[in-house]
Structure 1
Amino acid sequence: MNLSVQAKYFWIAIVCIGSIGIWLPFLLAVPLKQKVGIDTIAINLTTFYISIYFSGCIDFMLKQIDNIEHANRKSNILNIVFLIILCFGLIITTIWLSVLNYITLPIILSVIGSIIALKLWWITNLDNPTFDEFMRAEANNNHGQNWEQNG
């Protein structure tokens, strides 16, 4: 399996490490013989997706501002504003329903928020030069020997 740098980063950093607040409490509860209820999943998922969601929105808006020739720039910025409003709605509703001791609907809403956040991260970073193999290889060919001499 030959994954791109972006896919590896996504699965390792964003999904596995980023979701530590979701799975670590359950993992630690077993050896400590503590009970971790399913009612904490919605809040844990919500705290997971908030940072990914908003950083994706900000990155996408900055890309739109930098891309002057983009024909749909205004529409894309309005889409981001809609996503921010949607995120606030998901967060408030999830917390409110969790406080009222609902379990299923807050989990569903937090899963929806997580999916939107992860998709937004992927779309925002699709053209990110950090993840472009060609650019990394070209930079290494052009500057690799200089870096080795200075390092």
Structure 2
Amino acid sequence: MDLSVVPDLTMRGQDDPHGRAAAARPATVGQLAARVGDLAGRPAEWWRLVRFDAAGPVHVPLGGPTWLTTWPPGHGGTIRAHVSTLIAGELAEVVITSRGVTERPLRANRVRVHGGAPTLPQGGPCDGTHALTNPGPAFAVSLHAAEGRPWDLPST
């Protein structure tokens, strides 16, 4: 099987063989996930930026569309289409729909894609709100990436 003819799902903005100018496009979900996974593998670059505040989550921009968040116990926030990975502590993704509330614990060091067009177990579209919350007794630390800024983060 010749895999050279299979397109790479993360390819975008490649040179056009017809000479047209390539338009700048937002990063794909795959590229955002790769960025978060790569960053998670290099904690020496960002761990010193971790800040703890019992009053609420602390979001620290890391450049471009990536940021670090520390979550105090019992706190959470709404998320929009982006990817994240849990570095330390406990986080749960909470989805609130007209059919009820679903809470799913996140696993450490696994990239999770949020948003997009999720479906409910019955196969219908998800009409609800997605949030991350820290149900644990200690602070949680997570890395995130998104096109745009889902929270009101300061500019870098």
What's the TM-score bracket when you normalise by the shorter of the two chains? Answer: under 0.3
Flag the structure with higher helix content.
1
Alignment TM-score, normalising by the size of structure 2: 0.24
Alignment TM-score, normalising by the size of structure 1: 0.24
Flag the structure with higher strand content.
2
Which structure exhibits the higher relative contact order, with contacts defined as CA atoms closer than 8 Å and separated by 6 or more residues?
A: 1
